[in-house]
Homo-oligomer: A and B are copies of this chain.
């Protein structure tokens, strides 16, 4: 299968997912009380701040697509997992609303973040409401797998919280005080956990057993970590494609991304140089020097190797859970799509 075909396949999957899940999401958001609903619809890109309809995008729907593809891979009916897929997307958006408040991010999906438009209190309570709404969807679903899915999602949310908490705590510490191990655990919690949970929930909705469900969770987690590593590389050296952030963005923001932490822990002269640069203001010249130092300290090679290894592990876990490659094809296409954003 060529790369171009794989990319197209993933886009078609995401499109089909939107057709199945969006009506559920719109109905769920529509059930929220007025002022809460308005903020939620703005955040999803379906309304402007003044309440008029917006053609904006509600995100790529990767997580619900993973739910449906996992159900399909185990011979289940994806349509029967629509509420669960919508619940996972609500959890994702709850975490985005709160993360944007915590990180004081001004933009999300090319629009001002909800907290900048409606204020921090509204962004907090509407995030809370989306999390509760996810549980309402599961409670109302009536599918035999819904209780197990609710339990997995609860554990995943706790892991997301721990990841976000660790991320904030790292910001307070000097770069050389954060170990690579802590950083990998944090990235797994923040990025891998919900992708793994989405896959596991889909498996549960097809009646998959505990081993298969656990393997599919690992598949999502490893693919998520591969994505994070590649995203971190793009944050330093830029996107080889056309959609990513500009080169050096993460360095300019003093971000302790995985390649940076790997470089700082290398014990090389380049690590000491990088630590010194990170203590000061990151001018464009300093950013260029820091990128070079990360490279010379081995951070770039390490991240690229890790990303490949994580992706290989993801494929291995997928093959354990779903030995028939034809059945696993959609999940593989989504994982490839997530980790190669330039397509």
Interface residues of A (CB under 8 A from B): 32-33, 35-36, 94, 98, 101-102, 119-122, 124-129, 131-133, 135-136, 138-140, 146-148, 150-151, 153-155, 157-162, 164-166, 168-169
Q: Report which residue of A32, A135, A136, A162 has the largest number of chain B beta carbons within 10 angstroms of its beta carbon.
A: A135
Q: A33-B158, A102-B120, A128-B157 are in contact. List 13 more A-B contacts (CB 8 A).
A: A35-B165, A36-B158, A102-B124, A122-B165, A122-B168, A128-B128, A129-B157, A132-B153, A132-B157, A135-B153, A135-B154, A138-B150, A139-B154
How many identical chains are in the complex?
Answer: 2
Q: 7 smallest A-B Cβ distances: which pairs?
A: A139-B151, A132-B157, A33-B162, A136-B154, A129-B161, A102-B121, A125-B161
Contact of A132 among B119, B148, B154 (CB under 8 A): B154
CB distance from A147 to the nearest CB of B (A): 6
Q: Are B147 and A33 in contact (CB under 8 A)?
A: no
Which chain B positions have C-beta within 8 A of A147?
139, 146-147
- Look across to chain B and name the residue whose beta carbon is closest to the beta carbon of A119: B168
Q: Are B150 and A135 in contact (CB under 8 A)?
A: yes
Q: Could you list 14 A-B pairs, sorted by A, with CB under 8 Å?
A: A32-B162, A36-B162, A36-B165, A94-B128, A122-B168, A124-B124, A125-B168, A126-B161, A132-B153, A132-B157, A133-B158, A135-B150, A136-B155, A147-B147
